Structure 1
Amino acid sequence: MKTHIKAYVLASLFMVALTTQATAQSRRSSTTSKTVKTTTVKRTTTSKRIPSTKVTYKKPTKKVISVRTVPNRTVIKHNGQNYYYANNKYYTQSRGRYIAIAPKIGFRVSVLPANYRRIQFNNRNYYNAQGIFYIQVNNVYEVVEPEIGTIVYELPNDYEKVVIDGLTYYEYANILYEKIQYNGTRAYEVVGIIDVQ
């Protein structure tokens, strides 16, 4: 009788040990698969809109590019004001000179600037040219703000480094980017928009 009880207890303990080991292995494998799927550790801003008062530029003054004339320019009217487009740049006129600017949200052009890149994000087609995002509206292209999470592989030459809450980002045309690794390549992800106040 003692032999049967010992055999029964040993068999029960053996079954409990196997069950515990199988449970532990399944927990370990589910944790491992989650770790493998994570390829990039990102810092993200908590909000899409960042007040300009929270943004500190690394350079104290921004380089302003101005020219005396803009040959072969196209005039673009936006909110009752004339803007000028030539050589893949937008200009505004001030004191007899033309100052290069990033186009305002809502600008519409009939032809995209040269060297644009098509970017697909959240089932939406963007066209990015020199850091400016466009979408097609009927037969024209309108300047828009990109969605948070949109990824580009290069920034315009005149981007600015900024600091927000102690973290460094890249800014162009009030769009904030964070440098990331995406599919093994350096890229920049849109993480916010600066609200100019």
Structure 2
Amino acid sequence: MKTFIKTYVLSAIFIVAISTQVSAQSRRSSTTSKTVTKTTVKKTTPTKKIPSTKVTYKKPQKKVVSVRNIPNKTVVDYRGQNYYYANNKYYTQSAGRYISIAPKIGFRVNILPTNYKLIKYNNRNYYNAQGIFYIQINNQYEVVEPEIGTIVYELPDDYEKVVIDGLTYYEYANILYEKVQYNGTRAYEVVGIIDVE
């Protein structure tokens, strides 16, 4: 009788163990079949520095807009070059007219242009105003190149379309952007910097 009970109990435990294992496997496999794989199609992006010889602009000449006068301008001297600041833009003077330009890397100001946007990326705070990236250094703001992967939600009005290795990108102030979807919204990701030297 003891042998019969041992055989019966051991058989019952064995059957329960097998059914639990089969049940667990079937639950695991059903969970796997319900897993949703999110695929992001991304172009091959250029490396950080892109030689300017590899960049082809869609328009052969940049439209240069000049104005005769800038009311209420502020003059900022940077390494012997005068920049004129007004209407949230920087200008240079040429042949008696003012041409909108982007300030060079290293350019510093005491006050950020109005309507800047704070962008946080890799534990760094960037201040983006009209496509120009600044970081705070002591009591000043210095123009810098953004890190690859930095996201912005809009480009300045005078950006240009460029082609590199057959792929289209957007360029402003030698910064290359790629159009992406970020959190369900159209955005632009920094993918490279044009090396103009």
Q: Could you state the TM-score of these two structures normalised by the residue count of structure 2?
A: 0.82
Cα displacement (A) at 1:105 = 0.8
Rg comparison, structure with higher value: 2
8 A Cα contact 2:46 2:191, kept in partner? no
Structure 2 counterpart of 1:177: 177
Identity value in percent = 77
* 2:162 partner SS: strand
Cα distance change of structure 1 residues 28 and 152 upon mapping to structure 2, 3 Å threshold:
same
Cα displacement (A) at 1:44 = 3.6
Cα displacement (A) at 1:46 = 3.8
Q: Could you state the TM-score of these two structures normalised by the residue count of structure 1?
A: 0.82
Structure 1 residue runs without a partner (length 5+): 1-10
Structure 2 residue runs without a partner (length 5+): 1-14
Distance 2:104 2:73 in 1: 17
8 A Cα contact 2:179 2:188, kept in partner? yes
8 A Cα contact 1:76 1:83, kept in partner? yes
Structure 1 counterpart of 2:29: 25
- 1:141-169 per-position Cα deviation (integer Å, ceiling 9, x unaligned): 11111000000001111110100000000
8 A Cα contact 2:177 2:191, kept in partner? yes
8 A Cα contact 2:54 2:165, kept in partner? yes
The residue type equivalent to 1:107 in the other structure is F
- 1:121-153 per-position Cα deviation (integer Å, ceiling 9, x unaligned): 000000111111111111111111100000000
Structure 2 counterpart of 1:62: 62
CA RMSD of aligned residues (A): 2.6
Structure 1 counterpart of 2:87: 87
Q: Number of residues paired by the alignment?
A: 181
- 1:29-83 per-position Cα deviation (integer Å, ceiling 9, x unaligned): 6x946x23x4x32224241100110001111110101112222211112122111
- Comparing 123-132 with 88-97, greater Cα deviation is found at 88-97
Distance 1:160 1:46 in 2: 17
8 A Cα contact 1:90 1:102, kept in partner? yes
8 A Cα contact 1:44 1:191, kept in partner? no
| Match status 1:76 vs 2:82 | no
Distance 2:119 2:177 in 1: 15
Mapping 1:101-116, distance limit 5 Å: 101-116=101-116
* 2:126 partner SS: strand
